[in-house]
Structure 1
Amino acid sequence: MNTLFPQSTQLLSRSHYPVVVVGGGQAGLSTSYFLQQNGIEHIVFEKNRVAHSWRADRWDTFCLVTPNWQCRLPGFPYPGDDPQGFMLKDQIVDYVEAFARRIAPPIVEGVAVSHVTRGASGRLEVTTSAGHFTTDHIVVATGGYDIPIVPAYAERLPSHIQQIHSVNYRNPESLPPGEVLVVGSGQSGVQIMEDLHLAGRKVHLCVGPAPRSPRVYRGREATEWLMDMGYYELTVERHPLGEKAREKTNHYMTGRDGGHEIDLRRFAREGVRLYGSLANIQGATLEFLPDLSRNLDDADEVYVSIRKDIDKYIAAQGIDAPVEPEFEKLWAPGVDPLSLDCEAAGITSIVWAIGFRPDYRWIELPSFDGRGNPKYQRGVSPVPGLYFLGLPWLHTWGSGRFLGVADDARHLAEVIAGRLAAAETGETAEAGAATLPQAAVA
């Protein structure tokens, strides 16, 4: 394995660290940055390489959805000359690797953490592929994209129809000749659909309930308007949906070719076949819910509501900005299609783009709900010494992005520093620690 930081015998020679960080992506590296700022000894375990998921789990034309100016890792804002652009996959890897070189974290690559539990001494026991360690605090910065979701009924498809998850999609040429069905209209689904469509492939798309967003509106990038309006600082506690905001799909748009919004109605006019949510598979026949029209309308409703919020902000601030015409629907499906014969349509491959689910089975601590999701308040678990970072809506809308991870990492480092200081002085108060509501720890 080619690594930025070859395994350090010195780091692995110790069996105890005050803090262990699991994950060497932007979240784990940001944690290391602030732990170093606080003078806290720690080790970072990365089972692959720094920036592995960006390097290995994205398709060839992948790029950021948010502009480069939002890349604000701690002490290392986007260093390039195109702040309004959208970094491609390899550029994202370069950015994260450059950040890692800048901060020189105590990281060991190629070491996987397989088990975490509470030992008899009260310390956390950490089992890794490089041996056994103990720690007082562990920060889980592995992200929540562990297990690709593919429905059980996918097994009913004929074996000659190739199935892959979006995490394994690379380019149109990697799929067999024939028509392609993409299942899912979140960010990955619509961008893969466009990738295939631009390559001249005949594409079918199952449209789910994901919302969409403007790209440029009234003379300015919509993300810039939203930044000024404080949207990225909206906390999950202040969100109208509360904790349920974490379950919502991100708005779809793209940074491809300089960035543009994605209107699925336009793609339908260009020949992409649209269907509602996939409900079942019987042999080569796909069955859909009658929700295509509703899902398209709902996505447009969110799109229009964002434009209206920007309009209100412009008016309230007295900003001189060009006025744009009212939104109009370019296409409507008429009757929602309810079934599709893959054989008759010539579909030879299916790309599942319906997301991931987390896998925290390696953490044997009582900090998860009945669905296996971690419980925390701004990343601080009700289990002493356990923390999470880098998850969507961990604290704000920006938490799962390059934009907000630094603030969350700074907060966790301050909580850990306060707890370590309190432990040294024998105090029971935990400086800077979050207090979870009783319902959250039940």
Structure 2
Amino acid sequence: MSNNNHYDVIIVGGGQSGLTMSYFLQQAGMSHVVFEKNSILHGWKHERWDSFTLVTPNWQCDLPGLPYDGDDPKGFMTGQQTVAWLERFAAKVNAPVREGVAVKRVECDDDGLYQVSTTDGDFTADQVVVTSGGYHQPVIPRMAERIPDSVHQIHSAQYKNAAQLPEGAVLVVGSGQSGAQIAEDLHLEGRKVFLATGDAPRVARFYRGKDVVEWLYDMGYYDISVKEHPLGKNVAAKTNHYVTGRDGGRDIDLRKFATEGMELYGLMTDFDGENLIFRPDLAANLQKADDTYNNINARIDAWIEQQGIETAEGPSRYEPVWQVPEERTTLNLAESGITSILWCIGFRPDFSWLDAPVFNGQGHPKHDRGITQQSGLYFLGLPWLHTWGSGRFGAVKQDADYLCKAIKIYSQRRHTTAVA
């Protein structure tokens, strides 16, 4: 194998995390390549719906060398604006990306050298950074196979707008960030929406004169590491709070949607050939979401009082605008008029190409701030890799800088050992 096929570091994944890692490795003068099976920023360009906006305010977008550069720091970039900003970042970094090259297998040999097999040949590296995220395989349950072919079924990753769906009612399964926002999008387009809820929490968009994100930032929440968090590593598995940045940002209140005609149900569990089956937990799901909403606001109230901050608005609690009249556990598919089902229940990780003893029983990598127990193998861009912002634009810069320092130390140690 020629030296042209060897690098100090191989990066797998050409999204914002891979580009950020490349930025720091360039500063460190380390040879590297980024393998991207599609094109750079593919997910941002092709896996968001048309009305998508960021949920976090623009001022939290802070990639190395290119923090948010628009004129609305407290606003929320649309999908197109986000892509344009990321493309400016990609141009600035000018990473050595090999697009259209899929990594088929990575394994470490007895000498500690990583053997990397790709669709464009074989390569070696002293170290490997996996930046492909953890959202690889769209989750669609096996019950979907029993639903008649006359019902159009897609995953949230495929959704663009209401016009792509056949006429008729739509069942949205899942009330996390994507499910709640897509249900709202369809509702605003005048579609009849049935929403199967889960245990996703919600949060206020604005409270006592500021974005809740700004309050939480002031309170130091975004600096809490996963090790310091009361839930520990379990926090990474928690469903994100639903809220939206659409039209300048607002709450998402499923109870309000119910007063406007949206049909709410509990967790969907099965299809018996005629009826969709749900748990009788709609009231509990809505109450749990509201409790989280109020608890976060109460923490903000306590912070305001502790700091002696004066605000124009006083403390308040959300009071439900609609109550569940009865728990409905079945819905006849034919009689409902449902012609489309949108599965918004997340993704599974797929690291089957990576031969390394670093995964737990659910296929998630075990690591300490991105550093695994296998020397020279790292992860970047995962939710709660270190802090809340690790899987977002807010803290990937700090995480990549931290990994780059570890990579340099390992490289120096490896080189010293080789010379000795």
| TM-score range for the pair, normalised by the shorter chain length | over 0.9
| Residue 142 (structure 2) pairs with residue 156 (structure 1) | no
Name the structure 2 match of 1:257: 247
Name the structure 1 match of 2:324: 333
Whole-Å Cα distance in 1 between the matches of residues 204 and 342 of structure 2?
A: 26
| Residue 228 (structure 2) pairs with residue 235 (structure 1) | no
Counterparts of 1:33-432 in structure 2 under 5 Å? 33-321=23-311, 322-426=313-417
Instruction: In structure 2, list runs of 5 or more residues that go unmatched.
Output: none
Q: Which runs of 4+ in 1 moved over 4 A?
A: none
Whole-Å Cα distance in 2 between the matches of residues 54 and 36 of structure 1?
A: 24
Whole-Å Cα distance in 1 between the matches of residues 317 and 15 of structure 2?
A: 42
2:4 counterpart SS class: coil
Whole-Å Cα distance in 1 between the matches of residues 241 and 62 of structure 2?
A: 21
Code of the residue aligned with 2:334 in structure 1: it is: E
1:95 positional shift: 1.1
Whole-Å Cα distance in 2 between the matches of residues 120 and 375 of structure 1?
A: 22
Whole-Å Cα distance in 1 between the matches of residues 317 and 289 of structure 2?
A: 16
1:160 positional shift: 0.5
Name the structure 2 match of 1:436: none
Whole-Å Cα distance in 1 between the matches of residues 67 and 112 of structure 2?
A: 39
Code of the residue aligned with 2:379 in structure 1: it is: F
Whole-Å Cα distance in 2 between the matches of residues 400 and 366 of structure 1?
A: 23
The answer as to whether partners of 1:204 and 1:272 remain within 8 angstroms in 2 is: yes
2:299 counterpart SS class: helix
1:183-214 Cα distance to aligned partner (Å, 9 max, x none): 00000000100110000000000110000011
Code of the residue aligned with 1:69 in structure 2: it is: W
Greater shift after overlay, 13-22 or 138-147? 13-22
The answer as to whether partners of 1:68 and 1:84 remain within 8 angstroms in 2 is: yes
Code of the residue aligned with 1:354 in structure 2: it is: I
The answer as to whether partners of 2:301 and 2:315 remain within 8 angstroms in 1 is: no
1:85 positional shift: 1.3
1:93 positional shift: 1.1
Whole-Å Cα distance in 1 between the matches of residues 171 and 220 of structure 2?
A: 38
Whole-Å Cα distance in 1 between the matches of residues 3 and 181 of structure 2?
A: 45
Q: How many residues align?
A: 417
Name the structure 2 match of 1:438: none
Whole-Å Cα distance in 2 between the matches of residues 401 and 207 of structure 1?
A: 25
The answer as to whether partners of 2:154 and 2:343 remain within 8 angstroms in 1 is: yes
RMSD after superposition: 1.4
Greater shift after overlay, 101-110 or 387-396? 101-110
Whole-Å Cα distance in 2 between the matches of residues 407 and 249 of structure 1?
A: 24
Code of the residue aligned with 1:30 in structure 2: it is: T
Code of the residue aligned with 1:269 in structure 2: it is: T
Instruction: In structure 1, list runs of 5 or more residues that go unmatched.
Output: 1-11, 428-442
TM-score (structure 2 length as normaliser): 0.97
1:324 positional shift: 4.6
Code of the residue aligned with 1:420 in structure 2: it is: S
Whole-Å Cα distance in 1 between the matches of residues 3 and 333 of structure 2?
A: 57
The answer as to whether partners of 1:25 and 1:96 remain within 8 angstroms in 2 is: no
Whole-Å Cα distance in 2 between the matches of residues 408 and 284 of structure 1?
A: 50
2:388 counterpart SS class: coil
1:74 positional shift: 1.1
The answer as to whether partners of 1:50 and 1:96 remain within 8 angstroms in 2 is: no
Same amino acid, percent of matched pairs: 53
1:425 positional shift: 2.4
The answer as to whether partners of 2:44 and 2:83 remain within 8 angstroms in 1 is: yes
The answer as to whether partners of 2:138 and 2:346 remain within 8 angstroms in 1 is: yes
1:284 positional shift: 3.1
1:80 counterpart SS class: coil
1:106-128 Cα distance to aligned partner (Å, 9 max, x none): 21212111110122443010011
Name the structure 2 match of 1:3: none
1:14 counterpart SS class: helix
Whole-Å Cα distance in 2 between the matches of residues 230 and 145 of structure 1?
A: 28
1:13 positional shift: 8.0
The answer as to whether partners of 1:27 and 1:389 remain within 8 angstroms in 2 is: yes
Whole-Å Cα distance in 2 between the matches of residues 421 and 76 of structure 1?
A: 30
Code of the residue aligned with 2:300 in structure 1: it is: I
1:223-255 Cα distance to aligned partner (Å, 9 max, x none): 000011111111111111111111100111001
Code of the residue aligned with 2:196 in structure 1: it is: C
TM-score (structure 1 length as normaliser): 0.92
The answer as to whether partners of 1:158 and 1:284 remain within 8 angstroms in 2 is: no
1:44 counterpart SS class: strand
1:345 positional shift: 1.0
Whole-Å Cα distance in 2 between the matches of residues 99 and 31 of structure 1?
A: 13
1:311-351 Cα distance to aligned partner (Å, 9 max, x none): 01111111111215332111111211111011111011100
Code of the residue aligned with 1:138 in structure 2: it is: V
The answer as to whether partners of 2:8 and 2:125 remain within 8 angstroms in 1 is: yes
Code of the residue aligned with 1:251 in structure 2: it is: H
Whole-Å Cα distance in 2 between the matches of residues 233 and 113 of structure 1?
A: 34
